Structure 1
Amino acid sequence: MADRYLHFTGTAPGRFLTKRLRLPQPAELRRWSIEHPFLEGDLLHLTAADPLPGLADVLSRMGPGLRPTETVRESSRPAAVVVDATGVATAAALAEVHAALHPVVRSVADCGRVVVIGAPLAADDHHQAAAQQALEGFVRSLGKELGRGRTAQLLRLTAAEPAESTLRFLLSPRSAYVSGQVIEVAGTEATAPASWDHPLAGRTALVTGSARGIGAAVAETLVRDGAHVFCLDIPRSEEELTRTATRLGATALPLDITAPDAADRITEALGDGGGLDILIHNAGITRDRKLANMQTERWSSVIDVNLDSVVRTTDALLKSGTLREGARIVATASIAGIAGNVGQTNYAASKAGIIGLVRAMAPRLTEQGITINAVAPGFIETNMTAAVPLFIREAGRRMNSLGQGGLPVDVAETTAWFASPGSGGVTGQVVRVCGQSLLGA
């Protein structure tokens, strides 16, 4: 559904009126397109305390549109600013972060990016842990201050090379609706894809709930990045599922993911010698009611589809070896699972369960090179949110730092980053795709 307010604020009368009335003035976000696949402008690389070895080399590979520099060019508005704060180990050293960003933050271009690079918290050094944790509050607050479509993230690293995939995502139009997030990249080694333009070439993916909406957008994005995709949805959506799969050059798989033999049928559909490199758990339902009015069926159906089927299917595909070594698993959580929501005790429980699943499985899958992560969407413009009453819909759109709803492709781009072979150091992470919603952390 079109966001008429966003369109109005982009007109001259709209800018004048909203400014006079002190109403939100969201900027139209610059998302990835074939014509504009990269941010364009200066990439300002600043350092607070000791620099992280190799970071400058990684930043030099961010794309042809970005020009790395360590000094502000005259009359330049940098498209992105990266502040290396990995060496900040005391409260006093935080002054160097302020000193680096304070003179340049106003000059960041509309829809630009600010990424602060931090280090993991040291369990044996409370001074370092305090200073590095302070960066989280700093970045979350900065994301709420920037405005004009600009975003801020905190990226925790121990080495620069494993972060290339993540930096390519954060410093690109693909991350337009991701802001105020804290992401940790583990390890010191990375496997770059053969082509950053088609990082999923030669890989096989399964996307559940992909007949329409977010699932269809995820399937389309994975196909764009080179994967062969199996689109799965319930049999009663077979006609729409087939249309989506045909349009994408994918394979339709009409199947109820809650069926006891769902994993076996997925393996069978892949064919002899087939296997999965990417498993995307997107299928989900809502059956909203306040707990006092919630019937048992409403509770159990949501838990079964949104959580239990994810656990069962993942376990079975791992046990059978259908999920190959080095596979990527991405599950869909929600900001409702982080912050809760009135009338959604069942839905919030199921999505919080996804977060627990991801965090518990991640360390156990590391030996196989398998990663598992979750996306947590906020207000996304879909048929479901279009049916929400007007005033509630408008509140959902505006209650975030970017002042607008996200699009299905925003969730898809985040999922594709998780799915990349270059994202092997990213596991156990929950990234909100919500424009930095006021709900939750």
Structure 2
Amino acid sequence: MSDRYGDFVQSSIGKKVAKNLGLPQPVSLDRFESGQRLVRGSVLVGRAEGDDMSVSNSVARILSDLHAEVYVNSRDDAKDALIEAGIEAKANTGSKDKFKVLLFDASNISNADQLKQVYEFFHQVARSVEKSGRVIIIGRPPEDIDDVQTALAQRSLEGFVKSVGKEFKRGITAQLIYVAKGSEKNLDSALRFFTSARSAYVSGQVVRVGAGNTIDIDWSQPLAGKTMLVTGASRGIGEAIARVLAREGAHVICLDVPQQQADLQNVASEISGSTLTVDITSADAGEQIADAAQKRGGLDAIIHNAGVTRDKTLANMDEKKWDMVIDINLNSVAELNKYLLEKQVLKDDARIVCVSSISGIAGNLGQTNYATSKAGVIGLVDATARQLANEGKGMTINAVAPGFIETQMTEAIPFAIREAGRRMNSMSQGGLPVDVAETIAWLASPASGGLNGNTVRVCGQSMLGA
């Protein structure tokens, strides 16, 4: 789907026109390409003063594994952790140095006055971030903290990160990772995702990393040997998910309704996957999925992507439209999860990833049925995450909530509304199906055991529900 305005402002004339008229100026976002370095530029690391070095030590180890080019301010305590990890960090001279990633460990901040250290670190380099750069702050979950001053200071980081994501523009993203004490070893997956081009359209997000099994993987093929099922895989976002999971090494069972069999077969054949045609609302859907999965020894992940819209204002919505959306988008997900968990079709350390929507967070005109179903998906994830944590089998469940993604569905939106949807976010453009797929592949990774119960928006920090 073409974005003519976005293409126009990339031209020299278009840039001048947009600048003079104060129009949005979307940039071409860096996206992941196989064979390229994960971090495509230098990383400036900072750290708030304090005795706890556990987060900085984990960050240093990860950056060492990535062979990143690391800079540090001359008087920053982060140097000690970097030296211990074998990193000879360069000094930030404050001249013309440019950085792809600004990474600050704020885990030691324990009161409002100490937030000044966040200001001081980023204020000095706010104009030194490269296009499609990354801003990452790591803190502690406020809900785990009893001390009021410490809790308020850590919660304050969320407002800072979301504002930075809207200020820096030029495709620069900003994220906050809350890591629970004792779970620093589980930082790898989230930090690798957010420092890389895989997270091109994810910004202003707060992700919580907690307890979970630590699994060693081959980071070049993190899903190698895994069997994963994707519902609604014949086209659009579902097709992109299937292709990215396969690229990362997984065997993908591509599922869709019988009417989509031809398109489904094309996708599966191109990624060396397999097909399963089934209506996920049918009474025997769980049994059919289980049969297909058991032929490969069970499922390492299920991606609940299938969904429909039947938009009407509430006054004009008939019962059929309401029932269809709730049954497909919500009831089927709950029933399939229940069946697959009870029948032990999902292996230990399996991943469940559900596709919600920005509509389920903020609501939307003419979408009471759709917004209800997608909000319900988030509720399902919250409740199931607690259940899985108590079972102790290493399974996790998370959700992604796409915003304006360039698909056949958004192409049918009237022009004016479509343009508003594209521009009303920090990136001033719509996302691509691959942006959702990259996020799902991250959450589906065996290395993401510390991620459970998160809902990650893939929306370019949409103003809707911001």
State the alpha-carbon separation in 1 of the partners of residues 410 and 65 from structure 2: 35
347, 359, 363: which is aligned to 1:340? 363
Instruction: Sort the Cα spacing of 1:38 and 1:437 in 2 relative to 1 into closer, same or farther, 3 A.
Output: same
Tell whether the 8 Å contact from 1:375 to 1:414 is kept in structure 2 after alignment: yes
- Letter in structure 1 aligned against 2:186: P
**2:416 paired with 1:391:** yes
Task: Find the aligned partners of 2:295 and 2:229 in 1 and give their Cα distance.
Answer: 16
CA contact (8 A) 1:52 1:160 kept: no
Q: Please identify, of 41-50 and 390-399, the stretch whose mean Cα deviation from structure 2 is larger.
A: 41-50
Q: TM-score, normalised by structure 2?
A: 0.92
Q: Whole-Å Cα distance in 2 between the matches of residues 59 and 270 of structure 1?
A: 34
Q: Say which SS state the counterpart of residue 228 (structure 2) adopts.
A: strand
CA displacement at 1:276 relative to structure 2: 0.3
Render the CA deviation track for 1:274-333: whole Å, top value 9, x for unaligned: 200011000000000001000000000000000000000010000000011110000000
Query: 1:43 maps to what in 2?
Result: 43
Once the 2 structures are TM-superposed, how far is the Cα of residue 34 of structure 1 from its aligned partner?
Answer: 2.2
C-alpha spacing 1:189/1:240, structure 2 compared with 1 (3 Å): closer
Is 1:60 paired with 2:63?
A: yes
Who is 2:88 aligned against? none
Q: Deviations over 1:108-130 (max 9, x none)?
A: 11100000111111442111111
Q: Does the residue aligned with 1:110 lie in a helix, a strand or coil?
A: strand
The CA deviation at 1:70 is 1.4
Q: Residue 311 of structure 1 aligns with which residue?
A: 334
Matching residue of 1:7: 7
Structure-2 residue corresponding to 1:133: 155
Measured against aligned partners, the alpha-carbon deviations of 1:139-163 in whole angstroms (never above 9, x if no partner) come to: 1111100100001000001343201
Q: CA RMSD in A?
A: 1.3
Between the aligned partners of 2:2 and 2:14, the Cα distance in structure 1 is 16
Partners of 1:192 and 1:79 in 2: CA distance? 27
> What is the aligned counterpart of 1:98 among 111, 115, 119?
119
Amino acid at match of 1:358: V
Check conservation: 1:59, 1:68, Cα contact below 8 A.
Answer: no
2:168 to 129, 139, 146: 146
After superposition, give the CA deviation of every residue in 1:192-213 in whole Å (9 maximum; x if it has no partner). Answer: 31x1010011110000000000
Contact 2:212/2:449 (8 A) holds in 1: no
Match of 2:132, SS state, is coil
Aligned to 1:370: 395
Match among 183, 204, 208 for residue 180 of structure 1: 204
What residue in structure 1 maps to residue 76 of structure 2?
none
* Equivalent position amino acid for 1:350 in 2: S
Unpaired runs of 5+ residues, structure 2, are 74-91
1:209 alignment partner AA: G
Q: For 2:398, what is the secondary structure of its paired residue? A: strand
Contact 2:38/2:192, CA 8 A, preserved across alignment = no
Q: CA deviation at 1:39?
A: 2.9
Using a 3 Å threshold, how does the CA distance of structure 1 residues 346 and 62 change in structure 2: closer, same or farther?
Answer: farther
Higher mean C-alpha deviation, range 206-215 or range 272-281:
272-281
> Against the structure 1 CA distance between its residues 272 and 26, is the aligned structure 2 distance closer, same or farther, given a 3 Å change threshold?
closer
Structure 1's unaligned 5+ residue stretches are none
| Counterpart-to-counterpart distance in 2, 1:115 and 1:80 | 8
Once the 2 structures are TM-superposed, how far is the Cα of residue 37 of structure 1 from its aligned partner? 4.7
- Give distance in 1, aligned partners of 2:370 and 2:53: 42
Q: Work out whether 1:275 is the aligned partner of 2:298.
A: yes
Alignment of structure 1 residues 167-316 onto 2, 5 Å: 167-187=191-211, 190-193=214-217, 195-272=218-295, 274-316=297-339
Please tell me whether the aligned partners of residues 161 and 188 of structure 1 are also in contact (alpha carbons under 8 angstroms): no
Contact 1:52/1:84 (8 A) holds in 2: no
Q: Which amino acid aligns with 1:118?
A: G
Residue pair 1:358, 1:374 contacting (<8 A) in 2 also: yes
> Percent of aligned pairs with the same residue?
49
CA distance in 1, matches of 2:212, 2:359: 34
- After superposition, what is the alpha-carbon deviation per residue over 1:320-352, rounded to whole angstroms, capped at 9, x for unaligned? 000111100000000000000000000000000
Equivalents in 2 of 1:114, 1:168: separation in Å? 13
The alpha-carbon deviation at position 60 of structure 1 amounts to: 1.8
Contact residue 98 and residue 128 of structure 2 kept, 8 A = yes
Alignment-mate amino acid for residue 76 of structure 1: D
Match of 1:165? Answer: 189
Aligned length: 439
Which amino acid is 1:172 matched to? S
> How far 1:267 moved relative to its partner?
1.1
Seen in structure 2, the aligned counterparts of structure 1 residues 21 and 378 have a Cα distance that, compared at 3 Å, is same
Q: Which residue type is aligned with residue 68 of structure 1?
A: V
Aligned residue type for 1:16? K
User: Match of 2:300, SS?
Assistant: strand
- Kept in 2, the 8 Å contact 1:378–1:434? The answer is yes
Are 1:431 and 2:434 matched, yes or no? Answer: no
Match of 2:347 in 1: 324
Contact 2:227–2:299, Cα closer than 8 Å, also in 1: yes
